[in-house]
Amino acid sequence: MLIACGDALIDFVPTRNTGGREAVMPAVGGSCLNVAIGMARLGAPTGFVGGVSTDMFGRMIADHATASNVELGLATRSDHQTTLAFVRIVAGESHYAFYDAETATRNWTYRRGAIPFASIEAVHIGSTTLVNDQGAAETKALIADARASSTISFDPNCRPNLVKNKPAYLARMAEFAGHADLIKMSDVDFAYLFGEEPHERAKVLLGQGTSLVVITRGNNGAIAWHASAGQIEVQAPKVEIADTIGAGDSFQAALLFALHKQGRIGRQQLKDTGADELRRALSFAAKCAGLTCTRPGADPPWSHEVTWSV
């Protein structure tokens, strides 16, 4: 099984009402939940770990996840309210306003011994859960137990408007990166975290023990560095864009799914992955991200919508 650990929330995505005025539409989201949904829809056995409310929005999240074949037995249900995020698109980029005080996600705690890591091939972490101290501490405890048998996937998915102490946040992200086997981030996040030439930073991360570093670049595709296969670039498909919400999560989900299908998701198998295998996986991920961009909100593709072939 593959699992994603982190945020589950409701995005209020921009739309227009019948009179042409700005309006918003509720859609299930949260970066880590999106990754779980993306993997499950493509056909991988997938679970989600995190806090999910029992309120109206939490029921929407649970129903959406279940309908997408995500196993919620590892999630923690509580009567804390659901995190809400309001989205505006500015110059093609999604900007968020979060309402996340005392929510189910913020109050999630890691239940040691509750996750059968021996049967978990990979654990994905990242996003808003790692901004606050409690979420970061609980996630650290989880990956400390997971690393003995599971590959660690990490996408910081930065939200600068939530960061109160940038130096401390940068140090925290560097620490999580140091424990990850696979790191994926957008070029925007890379600039926020490192502000330097990606090639040199990728070499540093690979030198720390990471096997694969991927940077997505929107319309310019993605570039990856692998410890033994070297540098690989893939193009983005040309699509009619509705919005880019969830595109990076869809890329992450599809990449993990493709590695799983190729038998390359395990830590040692990932280290041994060849350039051709990586190129196929990255191209598939770019295709899935492109399809997600053609519809509003985080709505990753199903297996019947995209073709995976080894």
Predicted confidence pLDDT, tens digits, the chain (310 residues): 999 999 999 989 888 787 778 888 899 999 999 999 999 999 999 999 999 999 999 999 999 999 999 999 999 999 999 999 998 877 767 778 899 989 999 999 999 999 999 999 999 999 999 999 999 999 999 999 999 999 999 999 998 988 999 999 999 999 999 999 999 999 999 999 988 777 888 989 999 999 999 999 988 999 999 999 999 999 999 998 888 888 999 999 999 999 999 999 999 999 999 999 999 999 999 999 999 999 887 899 999 999 887 6
Beta bridge partners of 84: 10, 99
SS3 172: helix
Is residue 194 within 8 Å of residue 201, measured between CB atoms? Answer: yes
What residue type is assigned to position 6 of the chain?
G
Q: What's the CA dihedral at 131, 137, 138, 141 to 10 degrees?
A: 140
CA dihedral for 265, 267, 272, 273, sign (positive or negative): positive
Cα–Cα distances (Å) from 192 to 157, 169, 188, 207, 210, in that order, read 10, 11, 6, 21, 20
For 70, the enclosing helix (H) or strand (E) is strand 70-71
What pLDDT score was predicted for residue 103? 95
Is residue 252 within 8 Å of residue 259, measured between CB atoms? Answer: no
Gyration radius of the chain over CA positions: 18
Rounded to two decimals, the pTM is: 0.94
Beta bridge partners of 184: 214
Within 13 Å and on the Cβ side, how many CA atoms surround 267? 14
Q: Which residue matches tokens 């560097």?
A: 174
The span from the CA of 58 to the CA of 78, in Å, is: 9
CA dihedral for 44, 45, 50, 52, sign (positive or negative): positive
Query: If we measure between CA atoms, which residue out of 66, 55, 1, 79 comes closest to residue 33?
Result: 66
What pLDDT score was predicted for residue 310? 61
For 140, the token pair is: 């650290």
